[in-house]
Structure 1
Amino acid sequence: MQYATQLYSLRALPAADRCRVVAEAGFTGVELVGVDPPDGVAALDLDVAAAHVDVETVAADPGGVVERVRTAGTDTVVVPIVAEESFRPGEVDETATRLDALAARVEDAGGRLLYHNHEFEFASGTFERVVDATARLGFELDVGWATAAGADPVSLVERFGERMPLVHLKDVRVDSAAPRGAVPVDLGVGDVDLGGVLAAAAEAGVEWVVFEHDDPAAPARTVRAAADWLSIR
């Protein structure tokens, strides 16, 4: 497995500093927000694990999106979120059909499409329903938000790992009073079974483990702490 950082975690820093922080921490890759590579990817010899691109942009021009992310250094496009109501029981089957059809269009253009979860996809068991109802769509499991929803991320990786070439390694402290059921924290501080996730990911042949913290108070320190926890510095 290789280790990357989602650049969303570093959005509070100047753009010119983000890749430098990732490289100096010891990560070998980044995950993009959007289709264009940030400053420093090539100069710092960082790989691009994937690019998060909103579903409307992908649907409007799958071929163009694939061409641009391939120029950036990856063939993997990740839909970071869809509207929460799309995963309600009455809507989820249509959502699965739509995402799988879009994955086919991306694949035909020479790329692959993954879906990244938050917590709401697990509220009615609909995440697993989408996995079962799709064939060409892949997944980037966010283990932090899965834990926030009461799901077992280790079990999910064990069951669906062949559909998950990427895993978002996020730690959270479960808190029923929090708006989304948990608060993101540094790796090793929260309630996610990170060791179990990493073992399951290695067994499943996951390509990239992508560290993310949604709202770090000190982004550079948080990325360095994640690298230390992972023992990659």
Structure 2
Amino acid sequence: MIYTNRRNFVKRSSLGITGSLLLPSIGFAMPSGEKYGVQLYTFRNEMAKDPKGTLEQIAALGIKKIESARSKAGLYYGLSPNEMKNTCDSLGMQLCSGHVALDKDFDDTMRQAVESGQEYVICSSLPSKGQNIGNYKKVAEAFNKAGKACKKLGLKFGYHNHEYEFESDKGEVLYDVLMDNTDPDLVHMELDLGWVVVAGKDPLYYFKKYPGRFPLWHLKDMNMHEKISTEFGKGGLDIATLLQHKSDSGIKHIFIEQEEYASTPMESMKHNMKFLKAL
């Protein structure tokens, strides 16, 4: 199993950073040459207040890849798809992916994704409820259909897991049902490693069972006691071992995500980048 027991940690706060905060260009260079990305939900409050200024601060940390997340202000925090693309380009970052909903507005979601230049559109939650095999087969069918529609436009459709997909029904793990009933050429999985270990599963098992099916990762360390995210090295995720086996998963993009923080999102990300450099 890929997690270990750790001591309890102090309660996390979600204190924000101000848009006017000036950060030096740290520019962490990863020994492996890996260009790490970030899921912008990590900076959700900051992006809502000042998307361009926050992206500048993220770029100063050496982050090279971006995955957006839909918000009350739209898919790109109030920016148009073209504005989001141009802002990332100007900062030397690549907008690779975005979290979206598979809903009645999915045609417009795809249109915006094409305009933004991103490669992946990732469904961030199940489009229909029901923790049973029947619903997961229904969802798989909807995912295959969405995958076909995306492929016609030059996009790649995928799904991001949480903890609940690893529950079982009639002796079958529901995530496995989803994997077994989706076309690998149409549905590209984004594996949230933190939620996998919280569910009591081993990511390496899934790399072996479904080789090459996970081109996207959410690299997220977890406080196993409180089941909340934490800074790298403070939780139960064996990051070093997972990175050693990343090729087994078919990895193309690694997005760091953190939802709770010891102080601020920016300080947590600085810690995480230093941790990865030390590996």
> TM-score with structure 2 length normalisation?
0.74
Q: 1:84 to 1:98 in 2, by over 3 A?
A: closer
With 155-164 and 112-121 compared, the bigger mean Cα shift is at 155-164
Alpha carbons 2:128, 2:135 under 8 Å: kept: no
1:36-95 deviation line (CA, Å, top 9, x unaligned): 454831221101120111111564x1xx43332233231210001126734433421111
Q: Report how many aligned residue pairs link the two structures.
A: 224
User: Alpha carbon RMSD of aligned pairs, Å?
Assistant: 2.1
Return the alpha-carbon distance in structure 1 between the equivalents of residues 105 and 211 of structure 2: 24
Return the alpha-carbon distance in structure 2 between the equivalents of residues 83 and 174 of structure 1: 28
Alpha carbons 2:212, 2:248 under 8 Å: kept: no
1:159-189 deviation line (CA, Å, top 9, x unaligned): 32412111110000112xx4xxx11101111
> TM-score with structure 1 length normalisation?
0.87
DSSP-derived class of the 2:217 partner: strand
Q: 1:170 to 1:54 in 2, by over 3 A?
A: same
Query: Which residue pairs with 1:212 in the alignment?
Result: 257
Return the alpha-carbon distance in structure 2 between the equivalents of residues 184 and 69 of structure 1: 28
Q: How does 1:1-233 map to 2 (within 5 A)?
A: 1-13=34-46, 14-34=50-70, 35-36=75-76, 37=81, 38=84, 40-56=87-103, 59=106, 61=107, 64-82=108-126, 85-124=129-168, 125-135=173-183, 136-175=186-225, 178=226, 182-216=227-261, 217-231=263-277
- 1 or 2, which has the higher helix percentage? 1
DSSP-derived class of the 1:56 partner: coil
Return the alpha-carbon distance in structure 1 between the equivalents of residues 128 and 221 of structure 2: 22
Return the alpha-carbon distance in structure 2 between the equivalents of residues 215 and 188 of structure 1: 14
The sequence identity of aligned pairs, in percent, is: 23
Return the alpha-carbon distance in structure 2 between the equivalents of residues 57 and 26 of structure 1: 37
Q: 1:50 to 1:71 in 2, by over 3 A?
A: same
- The AA in structure 1 aligned to 2:63 is F
